[in-house]
Amino acid sequence: MNQAVAIRIQGTIQGVGFRPFIWQLAKRYQLCGDVCNDGSGVLIRAYPIPDLQRFTQDLRMHAPPLSDVQNVGWQFFHWHQPPPNFSIRASCLDGSQTAIAPDAATCPECLAEIFSPTSHRYRYPFTTCTHCGPRFSVIEALPYDRERTTLHEFPLCSDCLSEYHSPDNRRFHAESTACPDCGPKLIWLDHSPHVRHLDPLATALATLQEGKIILLKGLGGFHLVCDATNEQTLATLRQRKQRVSKPFALMVPNHQWLAKLVVPEQLAVAHRLLSSSAAPIGLFRRRIDAPIASLVAPRLDELGLIYPSNPLHHLIAREFNRPLVLTSANQSALAPMLDDEHVWETLGPLVDGMLGHNRKIVTRVDDSLLRLDHQQQAVLLRRSRGYVPQSSLMDEVLMLAAPLLAMGADLKNTFALARNREVILSAHFGDLTSLSVQNQYQQAIEHYLKLYQLHPEHIVIDAHPGYYSHQIGRMLAEQLNAQVVKVYHHHAHVAAAMVEAQVKANQQVVGICLDGLGMGPNGTWWGGECLVADYQSFEHVGGLPAVALPGANLAARQPWRNLLAQWLAFVPNWSERWPNDLADCPVQPLSAAIARQVNSPLASSAGRLFDAVAAYLGCSPRVLDYEGQAAISLEQLAMQVSSLPTSLTMALVPCGDQYYLDMTDFWQQWLSVKGSRAQKAWLFHDALANGFAQLALKVADARRIETIVLCGGVMNNLLLRSRFEYYLKSKRVICARQYPCGDGGLALGQAAIGAAQLQI
Ligand SMILES: [Zn+2]
Ligand SMILES: [Zn+2]
Ligand SMILES: [Zn+2]
């Protein structure tokens, strides 16, 4: 009898060079047998039985860089006739359980090839291997092989084919591999259509050198690119894009340049994060003497920076050798266009040329964005390229009997698919207000469902009937004959952080949820709430008192409106103190409208409270240029503080079983502080954290709850987060890091609540 072993490996191990790695490992161990991908992961059959401890240790330690081994198990069996050698068997996949790897930045070996004049792939912008390159963004269907990617239009030449079939080559089964002979090619377009450009890359570089602006096709969308050191070029870009002050991200050619832009204390961690295979944009504190145009990020202390992450970016960055603006070419409020012709037709007039190529984009994948907290740990603000579609596991009690789709929110939209215990959050879609984004969102849902071969039987929607995501979810439910589950916005925020922190289903938490706006029960508008929650249900235990949102949506764009609403509610004799620089605001008519409750719904929004304080301190423009601008300026102002004149507290007012923050008391104390604007900004952050922390601790202690969740988009404010952590030291504090804490992570929580409610 031949005793053999079947080793089962699970995780992100398909399409990342895992089978050839096993093949090499098996050779080292002198094993016979085979390895294959199947619906449950990778299966190895080995004879004779190796030292399994050592074998699995080697397997985990030396696994390919893009793989993520989550589970290894084995079973012995009798192999009647083991083969004489070790082979890689063809895959038999149905896709149902397959994990797809995210797109990954160019690996060092490929990089060396594109810069080596003797290499066949010298200056070839589509060079990839199993350790790097596009994955998720080129897959049209599963199983993951070349026929089902956007590369299927480019049959492999004989050289590529022989690499593809050699287990000892790093392009063995590299589905997106290509070379100058057989792969995609660059295309240059400009406004002189009759001139032929033999070298599109050289033409693009020459155009950039002249201080002009070009469109650049990427993996999952188009960027606008220009010289970031040229003030005149930046002025032209801002004028053409009609973007007054929203900051632009920069592509930084190398570490030397990074050191010229980022403060020394953040340099090492910035370099490490930007060099990761996800290659996100990172926000880092800028040096005052950073040699870039002032119009890149006016009045901001942080710069959004990214390293080159694909061969084309590397080729451009190395040759240009100074920072380039690399900003999404999306027109505000419209869906980003994904096909060259459409892009050139629409955006061509804004630019001097376009460097495109003939590999099509199947699904939108934006750049991801992260920031450092006070402990220099990364916090994801936008989770897309490089991270999607990595999944998270819910508590096993929430195991789903049938697949589920969670629709997300209307701003910063992402949606989620869940199967068994696994939740997969989609790429970022943003604001669903425009019809074109709604269409893209629906197409993407279709694409993801097809990719994972899922037929959701439950669709989770935000309770707000006015949300497009709510309406589209209902429509889909009808089409798919699925059951609708409605969840409340702030409950979903709390649950999202709980999933990431792997909170158990039987555990209760106190959630502090601070955001712009979301609907609570009975049509109330929430945004500064304290909840006691588990995955299944929640109870509201207090928070900020509600005030008017004067002009409804306008309140989110004009901070002074919120100052007026706060003061009308909480500051007696407010008109005597009204700031001079806001004297020409139409205060009287708006006060009258608020008094008559005309277009002034009540809301307890923390986001609008930040706007009010920013308006008073004069640190934001009269009309905001981008979402969150006032809060960002306020945090930045507060960070300038070096000493404090006093400290403030926020008292709690009981109201039935609940507690509300005493804003009358706060404004009176805060307005009477004799301090600088920066000190007042800091004291506001501190007092708000103090007030909410007291509320949370009171509730947690009364109910013996040990975990406090911080969530909602306002928690992107890292000074506020750090003050919360200070006041909540006695508890376990949870706050999202790997998923956005704002609406970009909402669908994760919706999925978990849906799963919990289906268990009843
Ligand atoms: Zn590579
Ligand atoms: Zn080739
Ligand atoms: Zn929210």
Token pair belonging to 721: 């987060």
ipTM: 0.97
Ligand number nearest to the C-alpha of 715: 3
Among the options 2, 8, 19, 318, which is catalytic?
19
CA distance 201 to 267: 31
Domain 3-88 is of which CATH architecture?
2-Layer Sandwich (3.30)
- DSSP class of 413: B
Whether residue 96 contacts residue 54, with contact meaning beta carbons closer than 8 Å, is answered with: no
Instruction: Report the separation in Å between the CA atom of 736 and the middle of ligand 3, taken as the mean of its atom positions.
Output: 13
Q: Are the C-beta atoms of 281 and 369 separated by less than 8 Å?
A: yes
Q: Is the peptide bond prior to 389 cis by the omega test (within 30 degrees of 0)?
A: yes
From the CA of 124, the nearest ligand is 2
Ligand 2 centroid–CA 184 distance in Å is 10
Which of the ligands is closest to the CA of residue 178? 2
Q: Is 287 a catalytic residue?
A: no
Q: Ligand nearest 104 Cα, by number?
A: 1
The dihedrals phi and psi of 246, each to the nearest 5 degrees, come to -60, 130
Q: Find out whether 38 and 13 touch, Cβ atoms under 8 Å.
A: no
Ligand 1 center to 113 CA (angstroms) = 9
The ligand placed nearest to the CA atom of residue 494 is 3
CA 729–ligand 3 middle distance (angstroms):
25
Determine the pLDDT at residue 332: 67
Q: Which of the residues 28, 37, 121, 146 is marked catalytic?
A: 37
CB within 8 Å of 675: residues ≥ 6 apart: 644, 645, 646, 683
DSSP state string for 80-149? SS--SSEEEPPPB--STTPPPPPPBPPPHHHHHHHT-TTSTTTT-TT--BTTBB-SGGGB-SSS-SGGGB
Distance from Cα 76 to the centre of ligand 2, integer Å: 42
CB under 5 Å of ion ligand 1: residues: 107, 110, 129, 131-132
DSSP per residue over 234-287, as a string? HHHHHHHHT-SS---EEE--SHHHHHHHB-HHHHHHHHHHHTSTT--EEEEEBP
Which residue type sits at 233?
T
* Ligand 1 center from residue 39 Cα (angstroms): 26
Distance 178 CA to ligand 2 centre (A): 5
192/485 Cα distance (integer angstroms): 55
Q: 382 CA distance to ligand 3 centroid (A)?
A: 14
Distance 361 CA to ligand 2 centre (A): 21
Q: How far is the CA of 744 from the centre of ligand 3 (A)?
A: 9
| 51 Cβ neighbours under 8 A, 6+ residues apart | none
Which ligand is closest in space to the CA of residue 517? 3
413 catalytic? Reply is: no
For residue 92, the model assigns a pLDDT of 66
Distance from Cα 120 to the centre of ligand 2, integer Å: 9
- Residue 153, φ and ψ in degrees, nearest 5: -75, -5
Neighbours of 11 (CB within 10 A): 17
Identify which ligand lies nearest to the alpha carbon of 744. 3
Alpha carbon distance 529, 551 (integer Å): 22
Tokens of 179: 């070379």
CA of 333 relative to ligand 3 center, distance in Å: 19
Q: Tell me, in angstroms, the distance from the centre of ligand 2 to residue 65's CA.
A: 24
Low-confidence ranges of the chain (pLDDT < 50): none
Task: Note the pLDDT tens digit of each residue in 183-241.
Answer: 999 999 999 877 777 899 999 999 999 999 999 998 788 999 999 999 999 999 999 98
Region of residue 236 (left: phi > 0; alpha: psi -120 to 50; beta: else): alpha
State the distance from the centre of ligand 1 to the C-alpha of 429, rounded, in angstroms.
29
- If 0-12 CB within 10 Å is exposed, 13-18 middle and 19+ buried, where does residue 722 land? middle
Which CATH number does the domain 186-357 belong to among 3.30.420.40, 3.90.110.10, 3.40.50.720, 3.90.870.30?
3.90.870.30
**Residues constituting the chain:** 760
CB-count burial class (<10 Å; 0-12, 13-18, 19+) for 602: middle
Ligand 2 centroid – CA 151 distance (Å): 12
Ligand number nearest to the C-alpha of 467? 3
CA dihedral of 368, 374, 377, 383, whole degrees rounded to 10:
-20
Asked whether this chain's domains 391-494+745-758 and 542-735 adopt the same fold, the reply is yes
- Around ion ligand 3, which residues have CB less than 5 A away? 515, 518, 743
Asked whether 310 and 124 are in contact (CB, 8 A), the reply is no
Of 121, 131, 231, nearest to 174 (Cα)? 131
Contact 178, 159 (CB under 8 A): no
For residue 276 the two structure tokens come to 């990761």
Break the chain into its structural domains and give their ranges: 3-88, 100-184, 186-357, 391-494+745-758, 542-735
Q: How far is the CA of 422 from the centre of ligand 1 (A)?
A: 29
CATH 3.30.420.40 fits 542-735, yes or no: yes
Short-list 743, 754, 741, CA closest to 512: 741
DSSP secondary structure code for residue 368 in this structure: P
Quickly name the fold that domain 100-184 has.
DHBP synthase (3.90.870)
CATH architecture for the domain at 391-494+745-758: 2-Layer Sandwich (3.30)
User: Which structure tokens are listed for 448?
Assistant: 């993801």
What's the rounded Cα separation, in Å, for the pair 13 and 15?
7
CB of 391 within 8 A of CB of 454? no
340 Cα–ligand 1 center, Å: 26
